[in-house]
Structure 1
Amino acid sequence: MMDNVSQITMFFLLGLNETNNHIFTLFFLTSLCYCVILIANTTVILIIIMDKNLHEPMYILICTFCMNSLYGTAGFYPKFLWDLLSPVQVISYSGCLVQVQVIASFICADLSILAVMAYDRYVAICRPLEYHSVMSKQRLIMLVCFSWMTPSCIAGINVFLISRLKLCSQYIARFYCINWMIVKLACFPAETSVDNIFAYITMIIYLFHGFFIVLSYMYLVKTCANSIENRAKFMQTCVPHVTSLLIVLATLLFNAIIMRFGSKVFPQAFKNFVEIEILVIPPLMNPLNYGFKLTKIRNRILVVLTLKNK
């Protein structure tokens, strides 16, 4: 068995086995979805970079959020589109670990960026006179680095722990590589105890992120209730962040519930959608959310469109 383990150089992805009859429809819809994600996120990023009036902490964090969406979806869509047109869906061992790194760090970074956004809005509304000193350029760079580097390090440790496991199967019952599915392929379950402990630590870290975000916005709602000016500021700048938070949390929670309790109840096609919704709904909805709801971004987009039409 040990010799066979050392020879595993690729994995077979089995998620598409029950969708062969709709492969071209799925390819068209996936291509359309990815194109919209690319265009919407890139548009918001370019608008923020090119307009000096948007070089403020809140908009730079939105730009970071959209960049993270492009990063995360790049780890899934190109490979998935290729698999849709391939007779056999395979991925190399190293490619699988890279995909785990990208997708895991993308999901964690979304929560980290949302936590930084919540802190930014707290300072802007509750400590307006100190805002520019607290959210200085140096502090902003530090927070952006935190929101990217910490998830990358956590995902990197996770990948390292996975890479040391001896695996007895090449078959992953998913569209893409995901850490816990690879851990399930381990020959010796006792070897996965460190992986499981680290997974629980990661969950606790990001649960604290979630509690911090929720408590921050609850405090902001309480603070803004007594001031018309603060209520207006909350509606203009915080509602899009809260919407993005709800989108991300809802997709994560729905995914966890279905995978934990409904794996044998729901049809495979539905489970397949649940599996990839975190890579579809937030990257698609968040740039549209910010583009339509934040006045400065919306007005800038309208100006660009107007000039093009002329």
Structure 2
Amino acid sequence: MLGGIVLIEWSAYSQLIFSYAILGGVYALTALGLSLIWGVMRAVNWAHGDLLMLGMYTAYWMVLLLGMDPLIAAIVAFCLLGALGGILHLIAIEPVIEKPGGHEATLLSTLGISVAIESMALILWSPSPRSYDNIYKGIYLELFGIRTSLAEAIAFSLSLIAIFLVDQFMKRSRLGKAIRAVSQNPIGARVVGINVSRIRLFTFSLGVALAGVAGVLVSTFYPNIMPLAGVVWDITSYIVVIFAGLGSIYGVIFSGLIIGIIEGIGAIIFTNAFRRILVGLVFLAVLLLRPEGLFGRALRRV
């Protein structure tokens, strides 16, 4: 009897941890956009989660009004959010980033963008949570007794595929190599003829576009599409980036999965409402013991 109870509890716990690990894959995709922006611009984008929220609403309205498949909506969100990211960069970031105190100014600029997006979303769509039905949500897969919806499996798989494609783009294309050059040494990149301003524009647009895709993928199984949904994703994404450290795209994947699993364990220990307590404790430990991140390179003093 006791063995049966333990088995049931373990099955429930493993199911919960697995579900959060799936969520960790989407965390990784969201954090990748932040990591790219920080790596090239050394700028904090406080509006990143709100732009992800716009991706969620893009899917919601495309499905509701046009009957569009959410996966097609992901392509639409990539294009729309990428264009919006470019516009925001040209208006609010590029004019101040190279001026004295430019990085502090970009922090304030993106914070202002965040407030503006949230306010407009609240006015247009109200604070009430929304969701939409899709064919992927109602189909379930089971492996070794662990059950997940097809929507979650697709979101996880496409997140990993998107990260792989970005990694290959960064390694193999001329533009990707230019982005890496600017990230490592913007002055040297400018000396060899790379247009640093254009690289910043493209990188910011790409980071925002990836956030839009992540928003669409989340919306396929996440029940709370609402104007303030991006706040939590913003905070979690920054934790993933700091966990991973700079310079490791695949480190972002592992960090996202680690954060997801820690959230699952936290939900078991502290209940679901307080699951991020454990994430916060582990986050503080990483900052103290390895401030360069789990997969980042330590700086040498010379």
TM-score, normalized by length of structure 2? 0.30
Bigger RCO of structures 1 and 2 (CA < 8 A, at least 6 apart): 2
Larger radius of gyration: 1
